[in-house]
Amino acid sequence: MSEFIPGELKRNEALQMIAKAEDMIRRFRDMDYVLKPEARTLFFGSRLRKEKQVLSDELWKSFAVFEDAKCKYPSSEDMSDIAMRYNLSHICLLLIDRALTSGVVEEGQGLVRKLRQSKDRITELESDLAKVTEENLLLQRGQFSQGKDDERKDEGLLGDLGA
């Protein structure tokens, strides 16, 4: 496999690109993003192959190869492992970019589900906050009134001592 490493590969920058590819692949796998049916009819050319490729097929293949490379080259310290994953992440991100710019990617049910869950969680947290705030106010009132009772008792004791 030919390597795509412009200049000297910097470990942190390479790991950031790998993480970005992992995040985008996760979003497709979680169905946050889905390919429209038109992606099956979208062909593109490649410098490596003379025949045109179907974008959706190449995208899923690149995801599979990248995931496989994560197992074969797992080290985040060994620069040759990082370089291999960096190269494959670059291919994935290029294909994702082609799909996005071609308009064949749309928000999937994963995002809708996550939005619904988030809204439900916000409602639940707001309810919990209201309960805790009310309990806090009751406790503060109880301590305040108890503090006044303690002051009265102290004054009564001081009066009994003849002060």
Q: Look at residue 111 in the predicted model and tell me its pLDDT.
A: 79
pTM: predicted TM-score of the whole model, two decimal places: 0.63
List, for residues 43-68, the tens digit of each pLDDT value.
877 666 678 888 899 999 999 999 99
d(CA 96, CA 56): 10
Please say if the pLDDT value at position 154 is more than 60.
no
* Digit-coded pLDDT (tens) for 105-123: 988 888 788 888 999 999 9
Q: Tell me, what's the pLDDT at 26?
A: 93
| Alpha-carbon span 106 to 52, nearest angstrom | 24
pLDDT at 1 over 80: no
pLDDT tops 90 at residue 143: no
Distance CA(39)–CA(103), nearest Å, equals 9
